Structure formats: structure tokens, C-alpha cells
Amino acid sequence: MKKHYRRKKIGRRRRSLSSSNWGPIIKLLSCLLGGLAAIGLLVLLIMFILEAVFKVDTPLPPDGIVAGISKLFTTDDVLIVTPTPYYSPVPTATPHPMDEYNAQEEEKEVVLPQEQQYFWFGDPSFNSNKLLFSAGKIVGSNVQMCALLEYDPESGAVFELPIKPKNANFIYPVKNDEWLVYLDAKSKGGGDICAYRVGQYNSDPIIIKTVYVGQPEIRLDGHYISWIERTGTNKDKLFVCDLETQESTVIAMFSSSSYGTSSPYMFDGTLIWASDGTSHFDDDRMASTIKHIDLNSSGIKEYEVDTYVHNPQFNGQYFVWLDGHYSKDSTLYYAKVTDDNKLESHAIESGVVNYAIDENFVIYSVDEAIYVFYFNSGKSFRITPERELAQLLGASEGHAIWMDVTTRQRDVLKYSSIPSE
């Protein structure tokens, strides 16, 4: 019987990782990681000792792992607790309403229907959101301002008041909810100060006074009007008339004085005008006084001003005036009554040739451009487009009104609504 021998199996030898090509690299990485871990532990230990023993603040978080381990041995705070820094939020500047103002988009032109053949306009002012102004046409060889028009900005409708001048021209028309007042002017000077109750135009006007020299600008406030009139060779008088009683009173007289050419101003029952000052300055500046009277009382207040004052205006809080007679050297000033009942003047702009005050601002013109100055912020902004030449005509009810004189072929009457601060 044959013997069967089992063949011995020869297994393959396993290769050690250390003897492979990756062995040295792995050993090096292990050494590096171990060294870094040791350094990290040493740094943690040093920071722990610095905080626990020497009370030196380190980047160790007071609520981290190291702090948690220390809590196993003591209940005290071993690590320094650093308060979390608080950074105050930087406030965002509130943009000014005029920052978004687009002059070309905001300006509006008064356009008359074709059937109303008037090509000259003057003395505009807003009342109850309607624009009142005089309008003229050529009569014979002269332009006569022979119509009073009311323009509705919302609808574009134009209404001609059913009255005509008895002399030649409507000048300085002003209107409120109760009264319409104007100067029915003669072509060679003088004229009649006339008044109507609003809506009662089917009769002759009330003639308040006949003016023989010059053509004074009329101010209307409630049922009072005021004006300065030349009454003699060197004499001027400031008049106030109560339209309800038609009684006129002389408030002030000027003799050979430049203040006789300075217009008065009325607002909310208050009349103001410019007069001689009593202060004297070392630099020979000419000082003035702004006089202030409540029409419902008899007391006159006086505010000394450290500049010359011409044509002062008032909106109930602020006074504005020029320190000259509408020249390129004139500076526009404003002031508010201080707690000690004085006016502290502040310059707005030089070279001002015209201006008009409103509730929150004053509109003024320099170099045939028109600007708004806000009293609260003390900031000025241009309100007419670049390359447009403009002549300021007035400001009322939050609007600026001007004549676009870029072209002289016809009168171009424009206005813009000025945003409040």
C-alpha cells in the first residue's frame, strides 16, 4: 500500500510597515505630532500657571476645557474672567431731504392755455395752494400788466380774476383767504392801493389810499396791510391799514434816511421794520435796529443788530436781512432772538441780490442761481439746474418761485416745492 505524503505548505512572509517605503515618513510625522502635542500641553500649562498663580490674563477661555478640569478640584474661578468687549454701533447718518433733490425734475413751468394771450408775468405768490400773479400783454406800444391770474399746480387750470385796473397795471398783488390787495399803478408812477374781499369782485374796489410818488410794495397779513410811502421831498412814512375799518395809521416817519427805502414785513400779527441803531463800533460799522410791534397791542420792541439792516423779514422765529442795498457786496444775515432778548447775527452768503423767507428756510439768489438755506441745519443747497439763469421772484407756502431768464424771448415763470427738514 502506497504511502501518501502531505506536501508542506510554504507561506509568504509578512512585510513590516516600518520596513516599507512609508515607514520613515510615518515615523517622522509621529514625532512631529507628538512634539507639537507636547508643546501645546506645555503652553497650556504655562498659561494655566500664569492665570492661576500670577493672575496674568491669557487667551485661555474661562469656560473652556482647562477651566472645566480645574472645577473638579476647586469651586473657585481659577482662570481670569475677561468681560466681553462691547462695541457701540456706529450711527448711520440721516440723509438730508435735499440730498435726493433733482433740480430739473422738481422745477415746474407755468403754462397758460393758448386762448390766454399773456406773455409777461410778475409778482407771484402762493395762497391756499394756488399761484396768484399779474399777467401782461402789449397794449399800444407798451406792456401793461392788465390781468390777475390764479394757477392751480395740481390741474394746470388757470383762472382770470374778473377785475381790471382802472389806471394801467396790477403791481404787488397779494391775497389771503379773506382779502385781495394790489397797487393799481400808473405808467409814470403813483397809483391807488386797492382791496377786494375775496370773491366779491362784482363791484368797484375799495381804494385804501392814493399814492402820488413811487410805487410801494404792499404787505398783507390777516386784515392788515403795510407799506412805506414817499410823502415829501425827503420824507417817508410807514403806514398800517386795518382793512375791516379802512383806518390807516402812521407807525414811523423817516427824514432823509435810507431806512425810508427799506420795506416793512408782516407775519402772524407782527410788523417789523428797520431803523437807526444806537450801538457804536470801533471799526465804524453802521449798526441798525429792527423794530417789532404786535398789531394787537401798542408796545414796540427793539432789537439791536451789529450790521446795517435793509428789508428785514420774519417768520415767527428767525429774522433775515441784507447789510446793503442789493449790491454784489451785500451779505444776507439771519438771527434768532436769544434768551436775553437779543439778536445774534450769522452770515449766510455774500453777493445776494434778492431773497424771501418762508416757514423753515430762506430762498436767495446769487449770480443768477437760486439757493435754499435751512435755519435748523445751517445748510445751503442750489435749487435751480446748472446752466439755467434765474431771477428770484418770491417764496411762499413751501415753494420757491422764479423767472427763467436763460432766454429773453418771453417770460418763463417757474416754481419748485422745497422739502422740509
Here the cell at position 415 is 416754481
Whole-model pTM: value is: 0.78
Angle, CA 206 vertex, CA 162 and CA 137 arms, to 5°: 40
Q: Identify the pLDDT of residue 340.
A: 81
Domain boundary among 251, 284, 311: 251
In a domain, 208, yes or no: yes
Number of domains in the chain: 2
197 pLDDT more than 70: yes
**Is 358:344 a contact under the CB 8 Å cutoff?**
no
Pair (245, 153) in one structural domain: yes
In a domain, 278, yes or no: no
Q: Which of 44-48, 304-308, 362-366, 404-408 has the highest mean pLDDT?
A: 362-366
Q: CB-based contacts of 247: which residues, under 8 Å, 6+ apart?
A: 241
For residue 172, give the CATH number of its domain. 2.130.10.10
Q: Name the percent of the chain lying above pLDDT 90.
A: 64
In a domain, 240, yes or no: yes
Residue 196 C-alpha from the chain's centroid: 35
305 exposed, middle or buried (CB, 10 Å; 0-12, 13-18, 19+)?
buried
CA distances from 244 to 75, 154, 223 (A): 91, 33, 6
* Mean predicted confidence (pLDDT) in 112-120: 90
**Is 260:250 a contact under the CB 8 Å cutoff?**
no
Domain boundary among 251, 280, 314: 251
Cα gap 181→161, rounded to integer Å: 13
**Is 362:334 a contact under the CB 8 Å cutoff?**
yes
211 pLDDT more than 80: yes
Dihedral sign (CA 110, 114, 120, 122): negative
Cα gap 238→53, rounded to integer Å: 90
Here the cell at position 335 is 438771527
135 pLDDT more than 80: yes
Closest to 265 (Cα-Cα) out of 247, 237, 240: 240
In a domain, 388, yes or no: no
Pair (189, 69) in one structural domain: no
pLDDT in tens, 276-332: 987 766 566 678 999 999 998 878 899 999 899 999 999 999 999 999 987 778 999
Report which DSSP code applies to 60: -
Higher pLDDT, 358 or 73: 358
Angle, CA 200 vertex, CA 194 and CA 206 arms, to 5°: 25
Q: Identify the pLDDT of residue 341.
A: 80
Q: Please provide residue 9's backbone torsions phi and psi, each rounded to the nearest 5 degrees.
A: -85, 135
Q: Identify the pLDDT of residue 87.
A: 67
Dihedral sign (CA 326, 332, 333, 334): positive
In a domain, 110, yes or no: no
Cα gap 251→164, rounded to integer Å: 31
Pair (121, 199) in one structural domain: yes
Q: Please provide residue 77's backbone torsions phi and psi, each rounded to the nearest 5 degrees.
A: -80, 105
Pair (158, 245) in one structural domain: yes
Pair (183, 65) in one structural domain: no
**Is 218:208 a contact under the CB 8 Å cutoff?**
no
Q: Which domain holds residue 60?
A: 44-80
Cα gap 304→276, rounded to integer Å: 9
In a domain, 48, yes or no: yes
Return mean pLDDT, the chain. 87
Closest to 363 (Cα-Cα) out of 397, 404, 336: 397
Helices (H), 301-411: none
Cα gap 349→331, rounded to integer Å: 6
pLDDT in tens, 83-98: 666 667 777 778 888 9
120 pLDDT more than 70: yes
Cα gap 377→375, rounded to integer Å: 6
Pair (120, 186) in one structural domain: yes
In a domain, 222, yes or no: yes
Domain boundary among 227, 251, 275: 251
Pair (120, 220) in one structural domain: yes
Pair (53, 138) in one structural domain: no
In a domain, 70, yes or no: yes
Q: CB-based contacts of 130: which residues, under 8 Å, 6+ apart?
A: 150, 151, 152
Q: Identify the pLDDT of residue 8.
A: 54
Here the cell at position 26 is 510615518
* Mean predicted confidence (pLDDT) in 244-255: 96
